């Protein structure tokens, strides 16, 4: 088994560990992981690994001092061994995996469409991450959409939850929604969803100067402003901010300029993971923390499933996801990486912020 690991204390450092395949017990299945998507969202998983528990999903091998961790990825796998009478060798799954070529699961709550992993260390973790979809159980399954699904499903589910939460709160009466890191895939899904709503406020996208044209060409933002032209923002308008980047300098500047007009700041991503606030960082300290909250999509998902039921939730999210998938054909190009060794280079680039907004990275564990 090959497993890609990240040093928890420094996301720029990684290693690949090799060890023998595990022997599965009664009721368990062994998976061969086929492919996974890698986006800036996975960097957020690493940043929030301890605070939210992302390091707990897939314990790192050969890790006696617990300094290494496996950042979770969304992707596809095939069952290659099964000691579970309800699951057959050869069946393919979609779900949450480590950046590795193998994984052992203990399926529970098995239906024709899905099951959950019942491993002891995952029982207290958010249920949405423990769910695996059985692709044989999907009547309209299209394997050609696998890359789009791995790339956009987790990001646009978050975008759906943001749109739904903001609409439920009537946008807090805001006149504008400012989306920071407007070129990120989650931001694009959010802006597209808001643009579909007749009642949403003005949608303002903030991005780097180099990404400005790309973001403008998407057509889902009412206004696009680069980080070096923040003075163009109308700071007199009631504003909700949705932050995908975690850059405290930009956040501090905006909070300070907006003051009481900053109604709420929802923090979603932390791609600027190394941008720490210090006592000397006056702009970072200017953040209005009592109006800032981390948006945790799994909590909203569980809330809506409780209110709408699984079928109602699925109908609404499927409609949202289908619309976003169609729109992605206009802007996203799939970039395939073969093997964990080549992934190491791409991983370092993404962690360093060297992300091309139009690219969607898919890592295949072996060439076709």
Q: Is-contact 245 269, C-beta < 8 A?
A: yes
Task: Report helix, strand or coil for 199.
Answer: coil
Give the pLDDT confidence of 339-360 residue by residue, as tens digits.
999 999 999 999 988 888 999 9
Q: What's this model's pTM, rounded to 2 decimal places?
A: 0.87
**CATH for the stretch 2-141+332-364:** 3.90.180.10
**pLDDT at 159 exceeding the cut of 50:** yes
Task: Could you list the beta-strand ranges (E) of the chain.
Answer: 2-7, 14-18, 29-38, 68-69, 73-82, 92-97, 102-105, 107-108, 114-117, 131-134, 176-180, 202-207, 223-226, 239-243, 262-267, 292-294, 333-338, 359-364
Mean model confidence pLDDT for the chain: 91
Cα R_g (the chain), whole angstroms: 21
Q: Are strands 29-38 and 92-97 parallel, antiparallel or unpaired?
A: unpaired
pLDDT tens, residue by residue, 34-68? 999 999 889 889 988 888 889 999 999 999 999 99
Q: Which CATH number fits domain 154-297: 3.40.50.720, 3.30.1360.10, 3.10.129.10, 3.40.109.10?
A: 3.40.50.720
Please give the Cα distance from 319 to 323 (Å, whole number).
6
User: Does residue 275 surpass a pLDDT of 60?
Assistant: no
pLDDT in tens, 182-194: 999 999 999 999 9
Domain limits of the chain?
2-141+332-364, 154-297
Question: What is the arithmetic mean of pLDDT over 94-107?
Answer: 97
Share of the chain above pLDDT 70, in %: 93
């Amino acid at each position: 088994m090959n497993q890609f690991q990240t040093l928890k204390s420094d996301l720029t450092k990684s290693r690949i560990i090799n060890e023998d395949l595990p022997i599965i017990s009664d009721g368990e299945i062994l998976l061969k992981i086929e492919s996974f998507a890698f986006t800036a969202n996975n960097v957020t998983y690493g940043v929030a690994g301890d605070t939210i528990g992302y390091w707990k999903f897939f314990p790192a091998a050969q890790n006696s001092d617990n300094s290494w961790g496996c950042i979770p990825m969304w992707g596809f796998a095939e069952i290659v061994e099964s000691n579970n009478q309800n699951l057959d060798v050869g069946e393919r799954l979609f779900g949450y995996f480590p950046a590795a070529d193998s994984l052992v699961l203990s399926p529970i709550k098995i239906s024709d469409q899905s099951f959950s992993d019942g491993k002891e260390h995952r029982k207290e973790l958010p249920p949405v991450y423990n769910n695996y979809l059985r692709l044989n159980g999907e009547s309209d399954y299209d394997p050609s959409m696998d890359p789009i699904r791995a790339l956009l499903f987790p990001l646009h589910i978050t975008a759906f939850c943001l749109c739904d939460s903001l609409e439920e709160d009537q946008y807090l009466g805001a006149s504008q929604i400012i989306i920071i890191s407007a070129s990120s895939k989650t931001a694009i899904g959010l802006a597209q969803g808001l643009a579909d709503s007749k009642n949403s406020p003005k949608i303002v996208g903030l991005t780097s100067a180099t990404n400005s044209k790309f973001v403008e060409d998407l057509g889902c933002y009412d206004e696009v402003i680069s980080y070096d032209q923040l003075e163009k923002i109308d700071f007199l308008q009631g504003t909700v901010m949705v932050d995908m980047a975690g850059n405290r300098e930009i956040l501090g500047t905006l909070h300070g300029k907006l003051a009481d007009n900053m109604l709420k700041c929802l923090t979603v991503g932390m791609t600027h993971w190394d941008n720490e606030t210090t006592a000397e960082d006056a702009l970072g300290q200017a953040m209005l923390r009592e109006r800032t909250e981390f948006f945790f999509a799994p909590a909203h998902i569980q809330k809506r499933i409780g209110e709408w039921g699984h079928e109602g939730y699925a109908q609404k999210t499927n409609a949202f996801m289908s619309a976003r998938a169609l729109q992605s054909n206009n802007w996203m190009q799939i970039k395939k990486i073969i093997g964990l060794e080549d992934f190491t280079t791409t991983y370092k680039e993404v962690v360093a912020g060297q992300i091309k907004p139009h690219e969607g990275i898919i890592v295949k564990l072996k060439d076709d």
